[in-house]
Amino acid sequence: MHTRRAGSAALLLECADGAEVEAWRAELWRRRERGELAAAEIVPAARTVLLDGLADPEETAGLVASWAPPPAASTAPGPLVTITVWYEGEDLAAVAAEWHVPVAEAVKRIAGTELRVAFCGFAPGFAYLTGLPWSVRRLDTPRPRVPAGSVALAGEYAGIYPTASPGGWRLIGHTDAELFDIHRDPPALLAPGTRVRLVAA
């Protein structure tokens, strides 16, 4: 892990992979809860963790360098959220073909896999879920509009569109789960570290 300044009040931790990101994310959240880290925001991404709202980024960099995150395998599991999915997306057959399995087997593998929120982005409430059995190619040409609640795959990630938007992910189903509600606390249903199961309706 390497650190570098990101503006006047932020620090960016650059990690080797998603497992190291999750280990640092969990460790930093724990230390903030214990009062050992004063950071307004701790934001994981695919290969980085951003600490924002720091009074002294240089001092924080030295502090973080003295800590060692636990191995990814020993990171305490997050809460489990079960989401009901109707597996009838227009790209489901293509995903199954890419995996060289029947559609029913593709659904079984996805629904039977415990995924984890690696990070959030793209749109409020959109979570990038890791843990898929195989990767999936993105569409060559993105769709101009993907309906809200669409469950989709791309690369190593699964995700659920919280609102209608353009998108190039493979659509495998849909859900009526509310991914983002400004009146809920917290507004996002899925936060980094959360375990997710996409069970078949």
129 neighbors 123 (Cβ within 8 angstroms): no
Determine the Cα–Cα distance for residues 146 and 161; give it in Å rounded to an integer: 8
Of 74, 97, 132, which residue constitutes the final position of a domain?
Answer: 74
| The pLDDT value given to residue 74 | 58
Question: pLDDT, tens digit, for every residue of 37-57?
Answer: 999 999 999 999 999 999 999
Instruction: Quote the domain boundaries for residue 88.
Output: 80-200
Residues 44, 15 share a domain: yes
Residues 61, 35 share a domain: yes
Residues 104, 50 share a domain: no
Residues 177, 121 share a domain: yes
Give the total number of structural domains in the chain. Answer: 2
| The pLDDT value given to residue 71 | 73
Question: pLDDT, tens digit, for every residue of 142-191?
Answer: 999 999 999 999 999 999 999 999 999 999 999 999 999 999 999 999 99
Q: Which residue has the higher pLDDT, 75 or 80?
A: 80
Give start and end residues of each alpha helix (H) in the chain.
18-33, 57-65, 92-99, 103-111
Overall pTM surpassing 0.85 (yes/no): yes
Residues 49, 30 share a domain: yes
| The pLDDT value given to residue 72 | 65
- Average pLDDT of the residues in 58-80: 82
Of 56, 74, 92, which residue constitutes the final position of a domain?
Answer: 74
> For the domain that residue 157 is a member of, what is the CATH number?
2.40.100.10
| The pLDDT value given to residue 133 | 86
Query: What is the per-residue DSSP string for 134-190?
Result: S-BPPPSS-EEEE-TTEEEEEBTEEEE-SS-EEE-SEEEEE-----B-TTSSSSBS-
Residues 194, 107 share a domain: yes
Residues 97, 26 share a domain: no
Residues 149, 58 share a domain: no
Q: What DSSP state is assigned to residue 77?
A: P
Cis-peptide, bond into residue 186, ω within 30° of zero: yes
34 contacts: CB under 8 Å, gap ≥ 6: none
